[in-house]
Amino acid sequence: MAKPEPFGIAIVGCGTVGGATARLLQSEAARLREVSGTGVYLACVVDVAFDHARSLGIDESLFRTDMAEPLADPEVKLVVELVGGTTVAKEIAAKALSAGRHVVTANKALLAHHGAELFALARRNGVTISFEASCGGGIPIIRALYEGLLANRIDALYGIVNGTCNYILTAMVQSGRTYAEALGQAQRSGLAEADPALDVSGLDSAHKLAILASLAFGRRIDLDRIPVEGIDTLETLDVAFGRELGYVVKLLAVAGRGPDGVSLRVRPSFIGLDHPLAWVSGPFNAVSVYGHTVGHTMYYGRGAGGPPTSSAIVADVIAVAVGAYQHTFRSLTIWPDLTEPVRQLPMEQIESRYYLRVTVEDKPGVFAQLATVLGNHRISISSVLQREPSEHIDAPAADDASDRATKTREDSSQVTAVPVVITTHRTNEGNVRRALAEIDELTVCTRPSVCINIIDEHEETI
């Protein structure tokens, strides 16, 4: 058999993921060439410093500081972009595509912001851009959507797609830690970044949802229109009440298809303990996808870290080296440069069940006031939970409620405030927001209310 053509790979950015990818391409070189029947090999690693690469034992003869070098090498057919961010990364990807090199990236922010532009550029230059590692780390969820599930109309997708948040929430649920304690624990164990904002704000999950939903629905998603809430204001009290009601809190990225459009959101949400996503703990990720003919499928694994993410990157590399991805990229019409913008439901029209916690004075007639406001906004109550007073009005008030707390104390020093937890039947977000704005204005209400989506199992159509 003829010796396969050399297929050189340049890795740009040798941090945690770049380093692990370089190691994997080196340690598995012979096996990867044998199983793929290609001449795939690591040609070089481009970065500005190589301390990390050296510490991993990567062959120093491969170190380059200028990306022009691999782009001048005709054996280099593919560039793996792993620098992160959206500015330098975009320049690197654009340079490589313009020079006729395939690009593999793990960069969700880059794709969520500039996917359509980069896909179009790849197409104009007769090359491809692939991105399995951008969502769910090592989990092959992107392939599942564009290959394995292609026969399906995807009706819904629920994802736990941020390992940092899932680790923090698991610590809050299982060990009763506060958000700050759980974040500290995650940072000490190296799971959370020193600046965890991108993860805990929910933005990283929104980037991933934009990518997953674009493939699931074959429509272009506008990142800026995804409602996003992070986990950084979540209180242990709500975590505990949720447990009592049979729910566990997760940062869920949710996409659903409805008759009037697609709903999208990223939020801390309650999900029933009987849903398999409830049991996805620590740094693990999982995505539930509901197809009209396959029903519920779920994809689970490590969503971050060098070795798991390098698994997805090298899968992309091999798919291009054997020529398979080129066909998919050319033939399918689901890519962001080829699709129409999604018809997205305004946030007001998103339907869900809701958990509401209102903090009110503990005296007769208060619940009737709450029920009246909810009824006026056509919100039907499913359950009510109230514990013995746990929060006296003299206790430190929430920042933005302090004025109200003081005023109330002048009126009556004996009044205590209690949390009342109400779960609702299905209603829309607009009704809930309007009702809570009114409830927060009641004089008996001593703190701003808390509202958490309850995500029900999506009904299968099979």
Q: What is the total count of residues that contact ligand HSE (CB under 6 A)?
A: 7
Angle between helices 236-244 and 163-175 (to 10 degrees): 70
Pick one of 38, 130, 164, 344: the residue that binds ligand HSE (CB under 6 A).
Answer: 164
Pick from 103, 101, 57: which is nearest to 82 by CA?
103
Q: How far is CA 357 from CA 360, 377, 384, 440, 448, in A?
A: 10, 17, 10, 11, 9
- How many Å apart are CA 380 and CA 362, to the nearest integer? 22
We find the least distance from the C-beta atom of residue 397 to ligand HSE, in angstroms, to be: 33
Q: Is 132 in the site for ligand HSE (CB under 6 A)?
A: no
Catalytic residue among 208, 250, 363, 407: 208
We find the least distance from the C-beta atom of residue 101 to ligand HSE, in angstroms, to be: 24
- How many Å apart are CA 251 and CA 208, to the nearest integer? 13
Pick between residue 93 and residue 200 the one whose CB is nearest to ligand HSE: 200
**What single letter denotes the amino acid at residue 36?**
S
Pick between residue 204 and residue 238 the one whose CB is nearest to ligand HSE: 204
Q: What is the DSSP letter of 144?
A: I
Pick between residue 83 and residue 379 the one whose CB is nearest to ligand HSE: 83
- How many Å apart are CA 447 and CA 432, to the nearest integer? 17
Alpha-helical regions (H) of 99-178: 108-124, 141-143, 163-175
Q: Is 81 in the site for ligand HSE (CB under 6 A)?
A: no
Pick between residue 199 and residue 316 the one whose CB is nearest to ligand HSE: 199
We find the least distance from the C-beta atom of residue 283 to ligand HSE, in angstroms, to be: 7
Other CB atoms closer than 10 Å to residue 144's CB: what's the count?
Answer: 20
**What single letter denotes the amino acid at residue 457?**
E
Tokens encoding 42:
């690591």
Other CB atoms closer than 10 Å to residue 237's CB: what's the count?
Answer: 16
We find the least distance from the C-beta atom of residue 350 to ligand HSE, in angstroms, to be: 25
Q: Is 163 in the site for ligand HSE (CB under 6 A)?
A: yes
The three-class DSSP label of residue 271 is: strand
Tell me which residues in 27-56 interact with ligand HSE (CB under 6 A): none
We find the least distance from the C-beta atom of residue 391 to ligand HSE, in angstroms, to be: 33
Asked whether the beta carbons of 264 and 225 are under 8 A apart, the reply is yes
Q: In DSSP terms, which residues pair with 252 in a beta bridge?
A: 267
Pick between residue 16 and residue 98 the one whose CB is nearest to ligand HSE: 16
Tell me which residues in 439-458 interact with ligand HSE (CB under 6 A): none
Tell me which residues in 175-234 interact with ligand HSE (CB under 6 A): 199, 204
Q: Which stretch binds ligand HSE (CB under 6 A): 56-64, 76-84, 161-169, 225-233?
A: 161-169
Q: Is 304 in the site for ligand HSE (CB under 6 A)?
A: yes
Pick between residue 164 and residue 359 the one whose CB is nearest to ligand HSE: 164
Q: What is the DSSP letter of 140?
A: -
Whether 208 is catalytic: yes
We find the least distance from the C-beta atom of residue 303 to ligand HSE, in angstroms, to be: 5
We find the least distance from the C-beta atom of residue 255 to ligand HSE, in angstroms, to be: 18
The three-class DSSP label of residue 432 is: helix
Q: Is 303 in the site for ligand HSE (CB under 6 A)?
A: yes
Pick between residue 284 and residue 329 the one whose CB is nearest to ligand HSE: 284
Q: How far is CA 217 from CA 71, 105, 147, 459, in A?
A: 35, 22, 14, 18
Residues in contact with ligand HSE by the rule CB under 6 A: 162-164, 199, 204, 303-304
> So which residues are the catalytic ones?
208
